[in-house]
Amino acid sequence: MMFSLVFFFFNLIYLIRAPITNLQKRKILWAYLAITLRKILIQLHLQKDSHKINFLNFSIYHPYAYSYYNLFGEIFLQNMYFFKTEKKIPLILDCGANIGLAMFYFKYLYPKAHIKCFEPNPEALELLKKNIKENHLSNIFVYPKALSDGMEEKRFYNPSGILACASASFFISKIHKGNFSEKKVKTDKLSKYINEEIDFLKVDVEGAESQVFKDLDISGKIKYISQAVVEFHLNYFEKEIDLSKLLGVLEKNKLAYHLHAIAVPLYQPDKIQDLMIYARKNKTA
């Protein structure tokens, strides 16, 4: 993906408006400028890809230097996973942790946070563990599991030649043009790992979002969720339309929510829409 000046300035505007301190903004800005320059140099073949980025005092290992550039923008500049808490040691669940970019963001906001990471992709899992070890991060717990409403084996698809790909999915239709590889991964219930208040729940589980919340509802563990961000994959091609089921669980349990999505025009009927759902305990209920 080539460098986009529009995308670059778009992220800067988000950073200016972000609900973080000015000092944090300055640090992120300088780090973003550095990785942007590095991406351009690599694309111009003026610098080799070392599969490692130094970012905000973190050393982040990844499969390709520029493949996660958009994710850096979404997580650190757009602050899509930002949340407030008065706790110095919040408990965070990172469901769909991949190589750990969101984990680094949480540790940047709350260095003493306890984080449970769930990731089924073996290649991403290897880099996630390496990033934790190389940065000497404490209170991180890793589970090599996919999440759903039961325990079974499911097929997991990955674009061929792209290790630890962030777009790996349970849906073939999410793997755009080209070849893909498939493997079987084990699913588990998130409710098994919840026995106390969860300050923040991040869910990006490639199509099993409704199943995860169904399990939390049936088990009664949803009462422990204070705040959550869910990336919902609106896929009409390979699964039952179940957005209303997830929203129904939130409403039943008196969780207030907001939705954010980029519209999909009628001339792109085969496009899967990614919908962000921001939920929190409704204090007025």
- Looking at residue 14, the DSSP 8-state letter turns out to be H
- Is pTM beyond 0.85? Reply is yes
Rounded Cα distance, 18 and 7, in Å: 16
Calculate mean pLDDT across residues 281-285: 70
- Those residues whose C-beta lies under 8 Å from the C-beta of residue 142, and which sit 6 or more positions away, are 97, 117, 119, 125, 128, 129, 132
Who's near 177: CB < 8 A, 6+ residues apart? none
Q: What is the pLDDT of residues 177-222, one digit of tens each?
A: 566 667 777 889 999 999 999 999 999 987 789 999 999 999 999 9
Domains of the chain, start order: 1-79 (no CATH), 81-281 (3.40.50.150)
Angle made by CA atoms 25, 138, 86, in degrees to the nearest 5 = 55
- What digits encode the pLDDT tens for the residues 19-78? 999 999 999 999 999 988 888 888 888 888 778 888 899 999 887 766 678 888 899 999
Query: By C-alpha distance, which of 284, 278, 274 is closest to 82?
Result: 278
Closest CA to 216 of 195, 239, 238, 190: 190
CA–CA dist 64, 49 (Å, integer)? 7
Instruction: Identify the CA nearest to 165 among candidates 209, 118, 123, 105.
Output: 123
**What is the H or E stretch that residue 188 is in?**
strand 180-189
